[in-house]
């Protein structure tokens, strides 16, 4: 599986909490998960941002989001003449603020960093494979 990730925010390349969650997902799925981060300030090359967000913005233009349901309703209406349709799901999870990774994570992780640009390119490998 390949993930193209932004270069900043909660999934930034320097966030150990992200790598720990990625490692746990790799273990749970039994899959290698390859990550390629866009360098900071280069997310404009991200195909999702480039091909999706302008259309979502257009569908929501002039709308005041008083509730999450209103935002969902207008984002779901996003479509294009070439066949783009948007599915919107609201995640009900509560996200912990200030979360830290386990103290021994850096010693026990099975993440393999690439030779070229290891800061931005790596693979989470399940410990069983």
Q: Which range, of 57-71, 76-90, 94-108, 112-126, averages the lowest pLDDT?
A: 94-108
Q: Which two tokens stand for residue 122?
A: 């790596």
Query: Which own/partner pairs from 5-12 qualify as long-range (CB within 8 Å, at least 24 positions apart)?
Result: 5/35, 5/36, 5/37, 5/38, 6/37, 6/38, 6/43, 6/46, 7/37, 7/38, 7/39, 7/40, 7/41, 7/42, 7/43, 7/120, 8/40, 12/37
pLDDT of residue 45 exceeding 90, the answer is no
Find the mean pLDDT for residues 114-129. Answer: 88
């Amino acid at each position: 599986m390949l993930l193209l990730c932004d270069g900043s925010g909660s999934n930034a390349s320097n966030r150990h909490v992200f790598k720990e969650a990625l490692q746990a997902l790799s273990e749970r799925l039994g899959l290698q998960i390859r990550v390629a981060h866009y360098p900071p300030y280069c997310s404009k090359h991200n195909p999702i941002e480039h091909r999706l967000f302008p259309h979502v913005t257009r569908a929501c233009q002039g709308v005041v989001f008083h509730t999450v349901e209103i935002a969902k309703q207008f984002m779901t209406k996003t479509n294009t003449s070439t066949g783009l349709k948007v599915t919107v799901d609201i995640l009900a999870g509560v996200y912990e603020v200030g979360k830290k990774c386990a103290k021994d994570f850096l010693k026990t992780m099975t993440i393999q960093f690439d030779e070229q640009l290891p800061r931005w390119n790596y693979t989470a490998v399940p410990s069983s494979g």
